[in-house]
Amino acid sequence: MNSKPVATTGSTSFMALKLETIKAELDAVLLKADPSWAPVRQAYWNRLQEVGLPKARGEAYTWVPLALLQNVNYADQASQMAIPAIPKSMVQDWTALAQGETDFSALLPALLSTSPIILDVPFLPDWQDIHFGASNVYTHNIINIPADAKVRLHWASSAPNNGFSSERLDLVVAEGAQVEVYEQSDENLDQVSLRHTRIQIGSKATVSWLGLDCGLKLNRSTIDAHLAGAQASIQFRALSLLDSTASSHRRLQVFHEAPDCSSDQFVRHMLLGSSQASCASQVEIKKNITGSKAHQLINSLLLSREAKASAKPTLLIHNDEVVASHGTTCGDLDTTQLFYLQSRGLSAPVARRVLVSAFVQSLFDAQASTQASKAIAVKAMATLARRFQ
């Protein structure tokens, strides 16, 4: 990684989600940031003013409880990242990229992180494991995966007790590479987390994503995946295990931009207490892009009268030569299945635990088994066991 940590003093700050306070943060960052990145920040600031702040009726934030974002307390940047001068070509590319951004959570970390953290992964014939997470309140990671490499990325929980974090990951996957992403959010009802990921997948490259959210005050994750090369593929699996007042919201967008690509999305929510979860998933297959395969499935299990779930799988298909499906379910446990288990001698609480465990485990059964995926499955089942003691 071509970056070096530089210690600074930390303090406690308060931020209201208003353009003027974001501009004040930006002015403070510009005083200590690499000046070569200033044109990019200006482009992102201009774009943020065009896009505006999250709106209650804006499609991207339809189900997100915006009251939780109006005011956030957080610890000020405890450390900063200093990097060498950024190549002019990269500055030009990122300035142009800003014009296509449409989501607040994509703009904020690119705007306010002191410096992007750039990692050019070296090629090795064997699998490599890379661990990363929120180094500051605002963190922007740019990771480039070389051709034919095999890389596991472990995205840890946001820094504990910050109160607020905003992270962005830009992942560029070259031809023939294999990438596995393991994203986790630990249970923390004091934490507000915004995460945005932009993925570009080259020809014959594959990305497999497995996410586990155990319950934050507010967790919003957006993913824009571009299948840019022929025969590229992405498989997305995510599970939210929420209790109390936890809130989890995902927005997934997959763009089929080359022929013979495939995408598969499988999201499950298990909700207790007054928790709420949403998933807006959209696949767009461009005109004249043939041989595409796209599947979406969102299942929400509501185990409390106060729990809420929303799902919106969408397919935008601009040609006929595709294989595509989408679906969603929402409700309590199946009473017929409960009756069957009880008729075999199980008590009602035990029967419920069996069905809930099967609901969770089946998501992992659909995932290729690795040591990392097994660890996430163990954590999910342990969280489940604790909540159904």
Query: Are 346 and 313 within one domain?
Result: no
Residue 160 has a pLDDT of 53
Percentage of the chain with pLDDT > 70? Answer: 91
* CA–CA dist 187, 191 (Å, integer): 9
Query: Are 231 and 361 within one domain?
Result: no
Residue reference for tokens 């306070």: 21
Kindly report the pTM of this predicted structure: 0.91
Query: Are 65 and 192 within one domain?
Result: yes
Query: Are 49 and 196 within one domain?
Result: yes
Is the model more confident about 74 or about 258?
A: 258
Write the pLDDT tens digit of every residue in 226-284: 999 999 999 999 999 999 999 999 999 999 999 999 999 999 999 999 999 999 999 99
Query: Are 303 and 254 within one domain?
Result: yes
Domain that holds residue 358: 335-389
Write the pLDDT tens digit of every residue in 287-327: 999 999 999 999 999 999 999 999 999 999 998 889 999 99
Residue 281 has a pLDDT of 95
Residue 73 has a pLDDT of 66
Is the model more confident about 75 or about 66?
A: 66
**Strand positions, DSSP E, 156-232:** 164-173, 178-185, 188-201, 206-213, 216-227
Write the pLDDT tens digit of every residue in 95-146: 999 999 999 999 999 998 888 888 999 999 999 999 998 877 889 999 999 9
> What values do phi and psi take at 33, rounded to 5?
-90, 165
Query: Are 93 and 13 within one domain?
Result: yes
* CA–CA dist 62, 294 (Å, integer): 24
* pLDDT of 209 over the 70 cut: yes
Query: Are 176 and 44 within one domain?
Result: yes
- Count of domains for the chain: 2
Q: Are 19 and 104 in contact (CB under 8 A)?
A: no
